[in-house]
């Protein structure tokens, strides 16, 4: 049997395949920027690369979630700042109304402004971000309260639920990011709604007799006492609101720290992934040039070799 190729020809083809493989690898690395673009490129490193990619994807998702939470927390903090200012305005109005020189008419005018502050407080309790009622707890698709002056606290029953929402820190821990409107505005021991409504009603409940009636001054004094009592409750509600404001300030700091942590973690993971997967483009370019040179030299050398024919083998 005649061997179709001599040993030198076989060796040439093997070398040619090796050079072409080097050439293709260099071209692929330069065009993609990757040293490892398929499992066969580095089987021993695929597991680590996939793990790094998973960590990077998870951290990116955590950062995205934190970004949404940050928007909600910032808005909540702004709403509470407005709520504190509204209560401070109500305190000023109540102190004016408690002055003995005030008439029932002037007190009713003050009551109208207090009522508008109560309505503003309800609006703040129903603050929305991206379609979510951020103070409605876990039932964030329904408003927390509506104004109802026939109720003792001047509002309807709480429409939301308990706030149990937490966010994941990139370090693996979780922390609470919200409180419900019931906790913030209608706490049983320091209800902002209740205090505002009590002040409103006290300012409206003037003497039921004319000024020349002997009981007029007694009724006016009783009204003043009711206003003073409402102011005590309102100051307590003011302190409570400031505590809630402090909670959201602390959450802002936690979210900001977590975002910075996530960004640093992503940089670290990206660098690790780059080390494992990315090509050294300069080295690949050098390898490409060398492979082309070797290919040309091999083909040139082969062309100079004497050629035989079938008749040579049959001679």
pLDDT at 179 exceeding the cut of 60: yes
Q: For 50-274, which CATH superfamily applies?
A: f41 fragment of flagellin, N-terminal domain (1.20.1330.10)
| Residue located via tokens 């404001």 | 245
Tell me how far apart the alpha carbons of residues 69 and 257 are, in angstroms, rounded to a whole number: 13
Q: 3-class DSSP state for residue 146?
A: coil
Per residue in 39-68, pLDDT tens?
665 576 677 777 878 888 899 999 999 999
Measured distance CA(309)–CA(86) in Å, rounded: 104
Exposure string of 184-204, with b = 16+ CB inside 10 Å and e = fewer, is bbbbeebbbbbbbbbbbbbbb
Mean pLDDT of the chain: 85
What number is the average pLDDT over the span 275-303? Answer: 58
Answer yes or no: are the C-beta atoms of 29 and 305 closer than 8 Å. no
Return the percentage of the chain with pLDDT > 70, whole number. 73
Give the tens place of pLDDT for each residue, 231-282. Answer: 999 999 999 999 999 999 999 999 999 999 999 998 888 887 777 665 544 5
Q: Is the pLDDT of residue 203 over 60?
A: yes
What is the domain partition of the chain in residue ranges? 50-274
CA distance 48 to 62: 21
What is the arithmetic mean of pLDDT over 99-122?
96
Whether the pLDDT of residue 1 is over 50: the answer is no
Q: Output the CA–CA distances (angstroms, integers) from residue 77 to 180, 225, 249, 301, in the order listed.
A: 13, 34, 7, 79
């Amino acid at each position: 049997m005649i061997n179709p190729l001599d040993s030198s020809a076989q060796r040439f083809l093997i070398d040619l395949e090796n050079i072409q493989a080097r050439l293709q690898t260099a071209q692929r690395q330069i065009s993609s920027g990757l040293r490892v673009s398929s499992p066969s490129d580095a089987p021993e490193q695929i597991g680590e690369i996939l793990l790094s990619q998973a960590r990077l994807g998870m951290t990116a998702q955590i950062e995205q979630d934190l970004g949404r939470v940050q928007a909600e927390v910032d808005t909540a903090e702004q709403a509470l700042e407005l709520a504190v200012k509204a209560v401070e305005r109500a305190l000023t109005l109540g102190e004016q109304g408690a002055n003995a020189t005030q008439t029932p008419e002037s007190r009713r005018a003050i009551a109208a402004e207090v009522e508008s502050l109560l309505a503003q407080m309800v609006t703040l309790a129903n603050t929305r971000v991206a379609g979510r009622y951020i103070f409605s707890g876990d039932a964030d698709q329904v408003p927390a309260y509506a104004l109802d002056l026939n109720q003792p606290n001047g509002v309807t029953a709480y429409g939301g639920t308990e706030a149990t929402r937490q966010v994941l820190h990139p370090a693996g821990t979780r922390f609470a990011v919200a409180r419900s409107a019931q906790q913030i505005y209608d706490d049983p021991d320091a209800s902002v709604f209740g205090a505002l409504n009590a002040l409103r009603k006290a300012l409206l409940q003037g003497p039921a007799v004319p000024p020349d009636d002997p009981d007029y001054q007694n009724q006016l004094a009783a009204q003043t006492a009711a206003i003073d009592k409402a102011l005590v409750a309102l100051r307590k509600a003011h302190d409570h609101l400031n505590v809630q404001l402090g909670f959201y300030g602390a959450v802002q700091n936690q979210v900001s720290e977590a975002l910075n942590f996530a960004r640093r973690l992503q940089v670290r993971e990206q660098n690790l992934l780059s080390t494992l997967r990315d090509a050294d483009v300069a080295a690949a370019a050098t390898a490409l040039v060398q492979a082309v040179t070797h290919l040309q030299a091999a083909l040139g050398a082969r062309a100079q070799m004497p050629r035989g024919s079938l008749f040579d083998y049959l001679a």
